[in-house]
């Protein structure tokens, strides 16, 4: 059930609400530009942007009476059909505002759902969006059916003895159950895929981070994936997994997963509805937290991502922090975000720092990399072939006895799988 904005609703007024009662140390986190970017991502033309600084929340309209009157005058003067509020409205507050303003009202959750509905491409993504929309709509049906609150009746129209509102709530409830059952089947299939991947000893690296941090651009550089990447919020909605486009010094295949970006104040309904997608993160062997190093609000966004990872219970998965978009920074010394995780400075646009990131990924997935010369006898040709295909053999020569002398770069965990390789015990770590 996709409800997108109609063409006549593309002109909108934005109301940014700053609750001054919040703690002083958090007051600088109020960011109206992010909500403005969300509106533009939805294809809206913002006619006006007003601010409401208040110490309390009005139970009837959320914003104060004076601000409601100011907003009504503006809506009437400019003939606006849509008003967006950067907050989470209750169904009654949303309905009361629509009655006063004579215009459609959307809060933060409604706007994000509209963006998601327009971006979902995969079957599971569309199911998740519809589930979130219906969960959101179920508490707001009274707004659409206030004129049909009488029971059905009359000759040939005798129904089950319920109002139209009750009928719609029952139908929406039935559809929600159907969607949850279909998503459960999809979730079970994903569990089978994860089991198969673990059985083959493949490694999964998940790219996470704030929306528009450059995750998809980095994903394309690592996998040659060719996914759509754009400088806008939620350009990526569906999770995509591809094989790495570089040698990992191991027989295990490295898979990279591009995930939906996070955002501050992510609505609870969205987190629940997108559980199947977010579960992909829980099975990851390594997280790459992509950070927009050129963003002045990067510290706050890092905190928001860390909070969401903690809420999902995956904060203990090994993590690399990637400071992206360094090509946009000139003569600025980047300070470490913390000392808990390794940090790599890169530019997904130019490819700078990508080799260092690949080395760090290999080290964290497979441990220490050893280098040196190993001798292969003719009977060990199959082992040599596997190492050669995985990119472990850098250089080769044949000695006077016809045996292969190979200079290898190999992970310690992989070397332990092979026995009887002459010279293997003499290999040295690359860091020495």
Look at phi and psi of residue 104 and say left if phi exceeds 0, alpha if psi is from -120 to 50, else beta.
Answer: beta
Contacts of 177 (CB under 8 A, 6+ apart): none
Task: Give the per-residue pLDDT at 383.
Answer: 81
Task: Give the per-residue pLDDT at 323.
Answer: 92
Angle, helices 354-366 vs 215-223, to 10°: value is: 80
Architecture of domain 369-429: 2-Layer Sandwich (3.30)
Look at phi and psi of residue 57 and say left if phi exceeds 0, alpha if psi is from -120 to 50, else beta.
Answer: beta
Task: Give the per-residue pLDDT at 56.
Answer: 84
Superfamily for domain range 200-366: P-loop containing nucleotide triphosphate hydrolases (3.40.50.300)
Alpha-helical segments (H) within 160-235: 164-199, 215-223
Q: What are phi and psi of 410, to 5 degrees?
A: -140, 145
Task: Give the per-residue pLDDT at 9.
Answer: 57
Q: Where are the domains of the chain?
A: 7-116, 120-184, 200-366, 369-429
Q: What does the longest C-alpha to C-alpha distance in the chain come to? A: 103
d(CA 346, CA 359): 13
Contacts of 80 (CB under 8 A, 6+ apart): 11, 12, 13, 47, 74, 103
Task: Give the per-residue pLDDT at 185.
Answer: 81
pTM over 0.85: no
CA distances from 308 to 107, 132, 195, 241 (A): 21, 18, 25, 21
Task: Give the per-residue pLDDT at 271.
Answer: 66
Architecture of domain 7-116: 3-Layer(aba) Sandwich (3.40)
d(CA 376, CA 334): 47
The answer to whether domain 200-366 and domain 369-429 are alike in fold is no
Task: Give the per-residue pLDDT at 147.
Answer: 47
Q: What are phi and psi of 209, to 5 degrees?
A: 150, 175
Provide the residue-wise pLDDT of the chain in tens; the chain has 432 residues. Answer: 444 545 555 889 999 888 765 544 444 455 677 888 888 888 888 888 888 888 888 899 899 899 999 999 999 999 999 999 988 888 889 889 999 999 989 888 888 888 887 777 777 778 878 888 887 777 776 555 444 444 455 545 545 555 666 777 778 888 888 888 887 887 777 777 766 666 666 788 999 988 888 888 898 888 887 766 666 666 666 677 888 866 655 556 788 888 877 887 776 666 666 666 666 788 888 999 999 988 888 888 898 888 888 877 888 899 999 999 888 887 666 766 777 888 999 998 888 989 889 888 888 887 777 788 888 777 778 888 878 777 778 888 887 776 778 888 777 777 777 766 666 666 767 654
Task: Give the per-residue pLDDT at 361.
Answer: 87
């Amino acid at each position: 059930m996709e409800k997108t904005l109609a063409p006549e609703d593309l002109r909108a007024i934005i109301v940014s609400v700053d609750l001054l009662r919040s703690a002083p140390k958090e007051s600088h986190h109020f960011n109206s530009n992010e909500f403005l970017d969300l509106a533009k991502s939805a294809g809206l033309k913002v006619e006006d942007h007003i601010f409401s600084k208040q110490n309390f929340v009005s139970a009837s309209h959320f914003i104060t009476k004076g601000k409601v009157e100011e907003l009504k005058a503006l809506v009437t003067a400019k003939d606006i059909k849509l008003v967006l509020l950067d907050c989470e409205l209750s169904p009654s507050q949303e309905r009361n505002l629509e009655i006063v303003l004579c215009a459609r009202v959307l809060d933060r959750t409604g706007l994000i759902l509209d963006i998601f509905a327009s971006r979902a491409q995969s079957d599971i993504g569309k199911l998740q969006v519809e589930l979130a929309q219906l969960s959101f709509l179920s508490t707001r049906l009274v707004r659409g059916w206030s004129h049909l609150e009488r029971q059905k009746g009359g000759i040939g129209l005798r129904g089950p003895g319920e109002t139209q509102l009750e009928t719609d709530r029952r139908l929406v409830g039935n559809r929600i159950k159907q969607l949850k059952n279909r998503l459960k089947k999809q979730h079970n299939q994903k569990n089978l895929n994860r089991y198969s991947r673990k059985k083959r000893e493949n490694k999964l690296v998940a790219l996470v981070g704030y929306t528009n941090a450059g995750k998809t651009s980095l994903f394309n550089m690592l996998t040659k994936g060719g996914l759509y990447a754009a400088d806008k919020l939620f350009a990526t909605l569906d999770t995509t997994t591809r094989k790495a486009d570089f040698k990992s010094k191991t027989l295990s295949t490295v898979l990279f997963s591009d995930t939906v970006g996070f955002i501050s104040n992510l609505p609870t309904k969205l987190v629940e509805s997108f559980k199947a997608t977010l579960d992909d993160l829980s099975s990851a062997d390594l997280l790459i937290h992509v950070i927009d190093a050129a963003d002045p609000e990067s510290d706050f966004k890092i905190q928001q991502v860390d909070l969401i990872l903690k809420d999902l219970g995956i904060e203990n998965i090994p993590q690399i922090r990637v400071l992206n978009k360094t090509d946009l920074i000139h003569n600025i010394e980047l300070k470490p975000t913390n000392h808990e995780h390794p940090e790599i400075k890169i530019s997904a646009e130019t490819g700078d720092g990508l080799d260092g990131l690949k080395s760090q990924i290999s080290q964290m997935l497979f441990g220490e990399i050893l280098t040196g010369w190993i001798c292969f006898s003719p009977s060990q040709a199959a082992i040599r072939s596997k190492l050669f295909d995985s990119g472990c053999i850098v250089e080769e020569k044949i000695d006077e006895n016809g045996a292969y002398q190979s200079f290898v770069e190999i992970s310690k965990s992989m070397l332990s799988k092979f026995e009887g390789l002459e010279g293997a015990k003499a290999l040295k770590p690359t860091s020495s």
